[in-house]
Structure 1
């Protein structure tokens, strides 16, 4: 498995290196975005009531939201994009008849986009630290556990998205829907408490809401396990539900595509 994963990773690195301007362009975008939110944070008073549960610093608040959302949206979209690329290039059937399971192929194909999104997230936090944002790293294992549970949840959603691409032969609406819901109701740019009461229930059914809430408690307030116990339990439920649903949907979607003989259609 390690050898297979390494081969997929090296393949994607070679492809990415063939576009020499991609990395500088992304770093420039990250720098511009960070500076933009740094100055936006200057107009928001540190004593703003809605920010008090998250340390009071809007700049650090939004950087954590951007960093985690970047990773999660890559997880959701990368597997569907790999399926779509295989459909248009005519390589998907050749990939799916190899000894590697289809789910593993999608997972391995997501390794490089995931690693690059982690680089962007760390770049956000590192650059934010240079601009004065304060992050607490006193509970690294809790941070890893919380992020891992969130990744498993979004991995299941990514498999569900890949099923749409496999069957509909077009970009999945799931990626767009998840990105929109996360931006509007997940607490990425602002606390979910600003939402009207009749809309806040939407934020409660999104895993990113609980992930960001727990992550901000750990990294902005320096809180411990007692403060995020409820978020961890909810994310465990999301992880089991989403991953099981994603695997089942992709399995049956692949069976339907094979039965219809539509794998080579694009």
Structure 2
């Protein structure tokens, strides 16, 4: 825990050294869904027929909340891939990974420290997003905020399990950009970020049902926009718990395998 908290403290101090980074947390919640919302308005026309069709597919007429929830969860995944997923690679580029690796602590604490910081920054981003959504987009909470928070907490193990796997692969392959684009592209295509999954062909639905983010977004939309209870979304809750356990185990295994690989090849500090 001392090592984990030290890494958290280090990341927090770096953040304070460059406070302009905070501006992005204020801007992205506004501008990212902006394009989707106005594209929807432009394509739907002036009558109410499109809204009725959307409601039949999605189960809600609140298309603004539908898109805001989807894009926010996608942004959390995207941020995790860019920052947490490339954290070890960033240490390599800085030239500090080898010295940190020599510390007499379990090497997994490096990633656990980054994940603690990322969770903290993600909840700050969520808080800012909710405030700005309310002020700018008139975002409405119909269901329970506490149940929504529970869904987000249960989504974290699967999100960071993917992050552990991703960070390990990046440390091994020494390249991040193409992998980030691939993973986030798959998420945006299959998880129903901006459209109901009902419009997808069956083979795509089968893939989307495997991805935990799909269940996180679906459960949040059901609770926030339709007022669903925990009994209504229990299947999604169970899947998030199951997928979180599986992906965290796979993440730890991937890290241990990568640690062994770079140790054998002597490539830990290679650029």
Listed as ranges, the gaps of 5+ residues in structure 2 are none
Inter-partner Cα distance in structure 1 for 2:199 and 2:224: 21
Inter-partner Cα distance in structure 2 for 1:139 and 1:122: 12
Query: Are residues 1:233 and 2:232 paired?
Result: no
Q: Deviations over 1:87-124 (max 9, x none)?
A: 12221121122233222211212333432232222222
Aligned to 2:12: 13
Aligned to 1:133: 139
Q: Deviations over 1:37-74 (max 9, x none)?
A: 55456555584333354431111111111222222233
Inter-partner Cα distance in structure 2 for 1:30 and 1:148: 20
Inter-partner Cα distance in structure 2 for 1:92 and 1:172: 20
Higher mean C-alpha deviation, range 215-224 or range 100-109: 100-109
Query: Are residues 1:33 and 2:32 paired?
Result: yes
Choose the corresponding residue for 2:61, options 25, 50, 56.
56
Q: Is this contact kept in 1: 2:158–2:240, CA < 8 A?
A: yes
Aligned to 1:194: 199
Choose the corresponding residue for 1:158, options 155, 160, 163.
163
Query: Are residues 1:122 and 2:127 paired?
Result: yes
C-alpha change, 1:116 and 1:54, in structure 2 (3 Å) is farther
Deviation at 1:149, TM superposition (A): 2.5
Inter-partner Cα distance in structure 1 for 2:86 and 2:270: 15
C-alpha change, 1:151 and 1:33, in structure 2 (3 Å) is same
The structure showing larger relative contact order (alpha-carbon pairs under 8 Å, at least 6 residues apart) is 2
Inter-partner Cα distance in structure 1 for 2:205 and 2:10: 43
With normalisation by structure 1, the TM-score equals: 0.88
Deviation at 1:129, TM superposition (A): 1.7
With normalisation by structure 2, the TM-score equals: 0.86
Listed as ranges, the gaps of 5+ residues in structure 1 are none
Deviation at 1:238, TM superposition (A): 1.1
Three-state SS of the structure 2 residue aligned to 1:225 is coil
What is the alpha-carbon root mean square deviation over aligned residues? Answer: 2.4
Alignment length (residue pairs): 264
Q: Deviations over 1:181-228 (max 9, x none)?
A: 111110111111121233222211111111111111111111101210
Q: Is this contact kept in 2: 1:12–1:112, CA < 8 A?
A: yes
Q: Is this contact kept in 1: 2:222–2:228, CA < 8 A?
A: yes
Q: Is this contact kept in 1: 2:29–2:132, CA < 8 A?
A: no
C-alpha change, 1:234 and 1:28, in structure 2 (3 Å) is closer
Q: Is this contact kept in 1: 2:89–2:174, CA < 8 A?
A: yes
Higher mean C-alpha deviation, range 128-137 or range 34-43: 34-43
C-alpha change, 1:246 and 1:173, in structure 2 (3 Å) is farther
Choose the corresponding residue for 1:221, options 217, 223, 226.
226
